[in-house]
């Protein structure tokens, strides 16, 4: 029987065994407890005072985002490192030591679940090995799984994200990566793929290892990918989950989240979900996501003291939603038109008004302080795009801070411009409302340099072919003409030789 059997919320029928052992232990320990009680209380008080003082000292650390010109000032918090990032654009609204390498604890598990979701199906059965169950320390977060038991991958995700179950993270790592070490390699590869620069992972659950570290920036970057997965986002926002008995897992129990914003102990409007973490080395860590008015924010807190990781997060979400807003690019952009050296604009073809071949993506937006306007931004254009449906990307900054981008997309509408309405019943007043839209809706952005280069190359090839064809034709014609003249001359000579004895 494993130590996991002593989890009271899962297997209460083992409690009487535990009580007997505790009684014997209590009697033997009582003799010594009074002698050390005062010293223990003193040490704990001293430690608490030290932790509190360290937290207060961290409040004096510089907040880099507060140093940006005309940028809203963010709150002073006791965390060593913190970030608020807009999930869709990657815009950083608040930054405090965001690249400092710290221990993530169980917030590691958002990467574990992201990789598991991308490399398995939800109905796959995950079997628990002896190593997965017994390699975690006694007293660490678990949900009491036993060696040889099996649950689905979907149930594993619930166990990891809601119960922070370390043995479940181990089992998933072995199932997906072949081993915990193999899965750690997948974690490091995925982190690099996502753009992380400060991380190194050695396990799937975040239990302390000196070589297992990350940063607030990297955790926020991982969370951006995590919260694009609807199922993962949903699970991370559930306050509890009920596990029912199955043929391969015989127990009935309920897991409850440790995230006190998710369970509404610390209310926060628009909360989507999150993941907690704690070890003695990492202190309190927290990753959270919330959405209001179309803006989705990710907040990461690292090295804080309980319960400040929750209050810090609520304060930072309030800071972000109160001081920033999203601004649609296509509704405000005026620089990239006929007056720009690289582009030209048109809104008509030979058949009349038609949809553009190229246009700014109407869903692209940037994030700005509410005190700023779109015209305060600076932009730069790049043709290094990943999608075949895009031709260019425009990056925007505000006082040197990246605030988002917009793509110039190729129209995917295959409706022909040559389809004419043959109906004779309609009148001018029956015309579709789209015909009266702002002409800016039909702006076409084209790279003139590329177009001209293409035209010149094609023209050069055509001219070369024409010249070659003319030379060949002239040469052939001249050769045939000389042949005809020689044949004609020979015929005349033969005729003269035949009639030279006759006098005409």
Strand residue runs (E) in 329-426: 358-360, 365-369, 378-382, 390-398, 401-410
Higher model confidence: residue 438 or residue 36? 438
Strand 283-292, strand 271-279: pairing: antiparallel
pLDDT over 90 at 231, yes or no? yes
**Lowest-confidence range among 41-50, 401-410, 437-446?**
437-446
Among 10, 96, 109, 190, the one annotated catalytic: 109
Q: How confident is the model at residue 188 (pLDDT cuts 50, 70, 90)?
A: very high
**Lowest-confidence range among 55-59, 138-142, 222-226, 431-435?**
431-435
What residue has token string 């800016």? 440
CA 294/CA 372 separation, integer angstroms: 18
Length of the chain: 504
pLDDT over 50 at 432, yes or no? no
Q: How confident is the model at residue 478 (pLDDT cuts 50, 70, 90)?
A: low
pLDDT over 70 at 229, yes or no? yes
Residue 256: CB partners within 8 Å, gap ≥ 6?
162, 163, 239, 240, 263
pLDDT value for 12:
39
CB-based contact 433:441 (threshold 8 Å): no
Helix-strand-coil split of the chain, %, nearest 5: 40, 20, 40
| Residue 252 per-residue DSSP state | -
Q: How confident is the model at residue 11 (pLDDT cuts 50, 70, 90)?
A: very low
Instruction: State the maximum Cα–Cα separation within the chain, in Å, rounded to a whole number.
Output: 163
CA 186/CA 199 separation, integer angstroms: 13
Higher model confidence: residue 91 or residue 417? 91
End-to-end Cα, the chain, rounded Å? 139
CB atoms < 10 A from the CB of 238, how many?
Answer: 17
pLDDT value for 25:
41
Higher model confidence: residue 24 or residue 382? 382
- Averaged pLDDT for residues 31-47: 44
Give catalytic status of residue 59 as yes or no. Answer: no
pLDDT value for 471:
72
- Averaged pLDDT for residues 244-271: 97
pLDDT over 90 at 402, yes or no? yes
pLDDT value for 386:
77
pLDDT value for 449:
59
User: Phi and psi (nearest 5°) for 85?
Assistant: -125, 135
Among 95, 106, 150, 215, the one annotated catalytic: 106
In three-state secondary structure terms, 214 is strand
pLDDT value for 456:
80
pLDDT over 80 at 473, yes or no? no
pLDDT value for 439:
44
CB-based contact 252:245 (threshold 8 Å): yes
Higher model confidence: residue 20 or residue 334? 334
Residue 16: CB partners within 8 Å, gap ≥ 6?
none
Give catalytic status of residue 129 as yes or no. Answer: no
Give start and end residues of each alpha helix (H) in 211-253.
216-226, 230-236
| Residue 370 per-residue DSSP state | T
pTM of the model: 0.74
Higher model confidence: residue 345 or residue 467? 467
Q: How confident is the model at residue 497 (pLDDT cuts 50, 70, 90)?
A: low
- Averaged pLDDT for residues 436-444: 46
- Averaged pLDDT for residues 184-198: 98
Residue 466: CB partners within 8 Å, gap ≥ 6?
none
Helices (H) and strands (E) in the chain, counts: 10, 15
Picking from 415, 387, 392, 414, the residue whose alpha carbon sits closest to that of residue 405 is 392
Q: By percentage, how much of the chain surpasses pLDDT 90?
A: 63
Q: How confident is the model at residue 14 (pLDDT cuts 50, 70, 90)?
A: very low
- Averaged pLDDT for residues 459-469: 83
**pLDDT tens digits, residue range 347-388?**
444 444 555 577 888 999 999 999 999 999 999 999 888 778
Q: How confident is the model at residue 441 (pLDDT cuts 50, 70, 90)?
A: very low
Q: How confident is the model at residue 425 (pLDDT cuts 50, 70, 90)?
A: very low
- Averaged pLDDT for residues 408-420: 57
Among 65, 164, 199, 354, the one annotated catalytic: 164
Q: How confident is the model at residue 455 (pLDDT cuts 50, 70, 90)?
A: confident
Describe the crossing of helices 109-118 and 216-226 by its angle, rounded to 10 degrees: 30
Which domains are seen in the chain, by residue range?
Answer: 32-324 (3.40.710.10), 329-415+439-467 (no CATH)
Q: How confident is the model at residue 422 (pLDDT cuts 50, 70, 90)?
A: very low
Give catalytic status of residue 106 as yes or no. Answer: yes
Residue 157: CB partners within 8 Å, gap ≥ 6?
113, 116, 117, 122, 231, 232, 235
| Residue 86 per-residue DSSP state | E
CA 425/CA 64 separation, integer angstroms: 66
Q: How confident is the model at residue 465 (pLDDT cuts 50, 70, 90)?
A: confident
CA 362/CA 228 separation, integer angstroms: 20
| Residue 102 per-residue DSSP state | B
- Averaged pLDDT for residues 153-170: 98
Picking from 394, 414, 418, the residue whose alpha carbon sits closest to that of residue 406 is 394
- Averaged pLDDT for residues 174-200: 98
pLDDT over 80 at 95, yes or no? yes
CA 298/CA 326 separation, integer angstroms: 15
User: Phi and psi (nearest 5°) for 241?
Assistant: -150, 135
């Amino acid at each position: 029987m494993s130590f996991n059997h002593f989890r009271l919320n899962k297997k209460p029928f083992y409690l009487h065994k535990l009580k007997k052992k505790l009684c014997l232990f209590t009697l033997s320990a009582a003799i010594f407890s009074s002698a050390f009680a005062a010293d223990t209380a003193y040490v704990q008080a001293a430690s608490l005072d030290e932790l509190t003082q360290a937290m207060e000292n961290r409040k004096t650390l510089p907040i880099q985002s507060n140093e940006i010109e005309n940028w809203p000032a963010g709150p002073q918090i006791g965390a060593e490192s913190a970030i608020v990032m807009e999930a869709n654009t990657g815009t950083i609204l608040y930054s405090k030591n965001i690249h400092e390498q710290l221990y993530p604890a169980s917030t590691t598990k958002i990467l574990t679940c992201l990789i598991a979701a991308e490399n398995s199906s939800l109905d796959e059965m995950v079997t628990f090995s002896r190593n997965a169950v017994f390699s975690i320390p006694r007293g660490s977060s678990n949900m009491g799984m036993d060696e040889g038991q099996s649950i689905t991958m979907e149930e594993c995700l619930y166990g990891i994200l809601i119960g922070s179950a370390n043995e479940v993270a181990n089992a998933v790592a072995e199932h997906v990566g072949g081993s915990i070490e193999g899965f750690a390699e997948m974690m490091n590869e995925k982190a690099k793929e996502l753009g992380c620069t400060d991380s190194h992972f050695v396990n799937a659950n975040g239990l302390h290892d000196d070589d297992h570290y990350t940063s607030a920036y990297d955790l926020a970057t991982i969370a951006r990918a995590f919260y694009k997965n609807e199922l993962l986002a949903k699970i991370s926002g559930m306050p509890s989950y009920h596990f029912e008995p199955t043929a391969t897992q015989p127990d009935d129990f309920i897991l409850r989240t440790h995230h006190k914003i998710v369970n509404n102990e610390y209310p926060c409007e628009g909360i989507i979900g999150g993941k907690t973490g704690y070890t003695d080395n990492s202190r309190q860590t927290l990753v959270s996501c919330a959405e209001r008015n179309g803006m989705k924010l990710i907040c990461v807190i690292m090295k804080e003291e309980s319960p400040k990781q929750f209050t810090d997060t609520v304060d930072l979400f309030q800071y972000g939603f109160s001081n920033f807003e999203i601004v649609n690019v296509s509704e405000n952009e005026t620089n990239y038109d006929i007056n720009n050296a690289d582009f030209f604009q048109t809104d008509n073809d030979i058949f009349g008004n038609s949809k553009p071949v190229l246009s700014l993506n109407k869903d692209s937006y940037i994030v700005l302080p509410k005190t700023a306007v779109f015209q305060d931004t600076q932009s730069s254009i790049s043709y290094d795009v990943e999608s075949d449906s895009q031709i260019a990307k425009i990056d925007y900054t505000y006082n040197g801070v990246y605030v988002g981008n917009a793509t110039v997309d190729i129209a995917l509408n295959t409706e022909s411009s040559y389809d004419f309405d043959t109906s004779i019943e309609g009148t001018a007043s029956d015309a579709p409302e789209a015909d009266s839209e702002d002409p800016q809706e039909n702006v076409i952005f084209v790279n003139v340099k590329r177009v001209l280069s293409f035209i010149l190359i094609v023209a050069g090839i055509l001219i070369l072919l024409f010249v070659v064809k003319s030379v060949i034709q002239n040469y052939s014609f001249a050769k045939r003409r000389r042949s005809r003249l020689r044949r004609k001359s020979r015929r005349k000579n033969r005729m003269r030789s035949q009639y030279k004895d006759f006098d005409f």
